[in-house]
């Protein structure tokens, strides 16, 4: 229970910090995301879709990648049962998912081997790749599946939200592979 209270407090703090930082760093973060994707492409390490997200307030808005990159993108769909799936982001109108976020509900579910990179929003991250989200557990539940865990997954957030101290870690927390901030990409060792 103490851990839940600690997480809730950190959520509030990092949410405020992220909102305060975002305007100044958002454009640079997007550029670093593009650089990172180009790095994967050059290395021949990217196939299939790139999973992004429909931004909530305070999250880096990556939607311009749909215009600027000629690569297929996917968006998450949340279910009432706490599940998450990724579907192609096409021209089909989006509809609200279980979290009321616009999502490609009418498109087929993508398998892990159809996604080469997942870009994930976060309130905060620590050096181990432990991520703090809104508390729904969607990404932890999703990445508890070993097949999905193999898909490179990077958080996208301002550098100020990389916690200098380790974040509280619960048994279900699955670390991400790294993050992209205005300083570029960092991978967890």
Ligand X SMILES: Nc1nc2c(c(=O)[nH]1)N(C=O)[C@@H](CNc1ccc(C(=O)N[C@@H](CCC(=O)O)C(=O)O)cc1)CN2
Ligand Y SMILES: Nc1ncnc2c1ncn2[C@@H]1O[C@H](COP(=O)(O)OP(=O)(O)OP(=O)(O)O)[C@@H](O)[C@H]1O
Shortest separation between residue 7's beta carbon and ligand Y, angstroms = 5
The reply to whether 10 sits in an annotated binding site is yes
Q: How many residues bind ligand X (CB under 6 A)?
A: 18
Binding-site partner at residue 158 among ligand X, ligand Y, none, CB < 5 to 8 Å by type: none
Q: Closer CB to ligand Y, residue 99 or residue 110?
A: 99
Q: Which residues of 2-24 are buried (b: 16+ CB within 10 A; e: fewer)?
A: eeeeebeebbeebbebbeebbee
Is the sign of the CA dihedral 108, 76, 84, 129 positive or negative?
A: positive
- For residues 102 and 49, give the distance between their C-alpha atoms in angstroms, rounded to a whole number: 18
**In 3D, which of 91, 19, 80, 89 has the Cα closest to residue 52?**
89
Non-local (6+) Cβ contacts of 160 within 8 A are 17, 18, 21
The reply to whether 11 sits in an annotated binding site is yes
Q: Closer CB to ligand X, residue 59 or residue 126?
A: 59
Q: Closer CB to ligand Y, residue 88 or residue 137?
A: 137
- Among 50-58, 124-132, 145-153, 162-170, the segment contacting ligand X (CB under 6 A): 50-58
- Among 62-70, 125-133, 150-158, 178-186, the segment contacting ligand Y (CB under 6 A): 125-133
Phi, psi of 130 (to 5 degrees): -70, 130
Length of the chain: 189
- Among 26-34, 55-63, 126-134, 178-186, the segment contacting ligand Y (CB under 6 A): 126-134
Angstrom CA distances, 155 to 1, 80, 144, 161, stand at: 26, 24, 17, 11
140 touches ligand Y (CB under 6 A): yes
Shortest separation between residue 91's beta carbon and ligand Y, angstroms = 28
User: Helix or strand or coil: residue 116?
Assistant: strand
* Residue ranges in 56-95 that form contacts with ligand X under rule CB under 6 A: 56-59, 76, 78, 84
Annotated binding site for ATP: 7-11
Footprint of ligand X (CB under 6 A): 53-59, 76, 78, 84, 99, 101, 121, 133-134, 136, 138-139
């Amino acid at each position: 229970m103490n851990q839940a209270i600690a997480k809730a407090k950190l959520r509030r703090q990092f949410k405020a910090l992220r909102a305060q930082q975002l305007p100044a760093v958002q454009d640079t973060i997007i550029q670093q995301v593009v650089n990172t994707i180009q790095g994967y492409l050059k290395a021949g390490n990217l196939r299939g879709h790139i999973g992004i997200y429909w931004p909530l307030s305070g999250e880096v808005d990556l939607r311009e990648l749909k215009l600027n990159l000629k690569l297929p993108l996917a968006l998450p769909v949340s279910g009432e049962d706490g599940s998450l799936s990724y579907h192609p982001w096409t021209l089909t109108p989006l509809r609200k998912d279980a979290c009321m976020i616009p999502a490609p509900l009418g498109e087929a579910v993508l398998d892990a081997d159809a996604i080469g990179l997942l870009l994930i929003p976060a309130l905060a991250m620590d050096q181990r790749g432990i991520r703090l989200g809104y508390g729904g557990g969607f990404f932890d539940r999703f990445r508890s599946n070993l097949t999905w865990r193999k898909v490179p997954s990077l958080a996208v957030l301002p550098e100020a939200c990389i916690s200098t101290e380790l974040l509280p870690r619960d048994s279900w927390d699955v670390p991400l592979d790294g993050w992209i901030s205005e300083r570029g990409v960092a991978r967890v060792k």
